[in-house]
Amino acid sequence: MTSSSTDARRRRTERSTWVRMGAALLLGLLALAGPALAPTGSTGAVFVDEAPVTTGVTTAPTFAPTP
**pLDDT (tens digit, 9 = 90+) per residue, 8-58?**
666 777 888 999 999 999 999 988 887 777 776 665 666 777 888 899 988
Q: Is residue 63 part of a domain?
A: no
Closest CA to 9 of 22, 17, 46: 17
User: What is the rounded CA–CA span in Å between residue 34 and residue 27?
Assistant: 10
**Domains of the chain: total:** 1
Q: Is residue 52 part of a domain?
A: no
Closest CA to 10 of 19, 20, 2, 1: 2
Q: Which domain holds residue 4?
A: 1-40
Residue 4, pLDDT > 70, answer: no
Q: How confident is the model at residue 2 (pLDDT cuts 50, 70, 90)?
A: low
Q: Is residue 53 part of a domain?
A: no
Q: Is residue 60 part of a domain?
A: no
